[in-house]
Amino acid sequence: MTLKRALVASNADVALEAEQELRARYDWVSVDEADIVVALGGDGFMLQTLHQMLEARRMVPVYGMNRGTVGFLMNDWSLDAIDARLARAKRFEVAPLRMEAVTIAGQRVVLPAINEVSLLRETRQTAKLEITVSNRVVLDELVCDGVLVATPAGSTAYNLSANGPILPLGSALHALTPISPFRPRRWRGAILPDSATVRIRVLEPVKRPVSAVADQREVRDVATVEVAIDRSATLCLMFDPEHALDDRITMEQFVV
């Protein structure tokens, strides 16, 4: 049985050109009818495609081809043998994070995050944060530019830039990583089981305002943020065996 394929592309010229070539060579269906979605673009477009699936509550496997900049979540671009590549592609399930933020004004905002949830200071004033893990206060006061909670899929993105650990896919772990910590100076973060719930309370939220970002979506002037895994919304990414995501994440640890 041939799986029905849908094709989506970013608005970059190189992605739109690739889309035209693929549409001329193969038959495609709409996303609503598809068994698999082929996405053309970079990592940002892949995240956008996955978020659209979460919003629609219709999750089908996504096979990306790099017609963007970074492409860590994408396979190599090729016009040839699409069905053969899809048939042998390795599948990885990714459970997103669920961020629940409450603003100073009392507004409650719930957003998913596939890579990370990050809290960032909004002004020149450092942020002061209290961090609780599974109902236990682990840091009374973290003075910093921010802090983030990253999934294994996102551990090589912003988390790695903030000197956080690289987490293997399937490790059932999350990274809790400070961003430019000032006090305590020696705290470099923690590795947590993905069953843990992280709650962050902003100390002095009016004087030292903080925003919360779930992947690319920002909530400003937050008072508290709670982050936990959402197992009700599992996503599936597909990779060529020679470019599987777990192998890419492993090899990132040896990049110098």
Measure the CA–CA gap between 238 and 36, rounded to whole angstroms: 9
Closest Cα partner for 149 from 94, 213, 105, 231? 213
Task: List the pLDDT tens digit at each of the 256 positions of the chain.
Answer: 678 999 999 999 999 999 999 999 999 999 999 999 999 999 889 999 999 999 888 889 999 999 988 778 899 999 999 999 999 999 988 899 999 999 999 999 999 999 999 999 999 999 999 999 999 999 999 999 999 999 998 998 899 999 999 998 788 999 999 999 999 988 999 999 999 999 999 999 999 999 999 998 999 999 999 999 998 888 999 999 877 666 766 666 676 6
- One DSSP character per residue, 92-156 reads EEEPPEEEEEEETT--EEEEEESSEEEEEESSSSPEEEEEEETTEEEEEEEEESEEEEE-TTTTT
Active-site residue (options: 13, 27, 43, 247)? 43
Measure the CA–CA gap between 237 and 211, rounded to whole angstroms: 29
Same fold, 5-95+233-252 and 97-229: no
Domain spans of the chain, in order of start: 5-95+233-252, 97-229
CATH superfamily of the domain spanning 5-95+233-252:
Probable inorganic polyphosphate/atp-NAD kinase; domain 1 (3.40.50.10330)
Looking at residue 246, what is its pLDDT?
67
CATH superfamily of the domain spanning 97-229:
Probable inorganic polyphosphate/atp-NAD kinase; domain 2 (2.60.200.30)
- Tokens 């069953």: give the residue: 195
The residue type of 98 is: R
43 is catalytic: yes
Closest Cα partner for 66 from 58, 74, 78? 74
Measure the CA–CA gap between 151 and 20, rounded to whole angstroms: 34
Q: For residue 161, what are the contacts with CB-CB under 8 A and spacing of at least 6?
A: none
CA-to-CA dists, residue 199 to 36, 83, 238, 244, angstroms: 36, 44, 32, 33
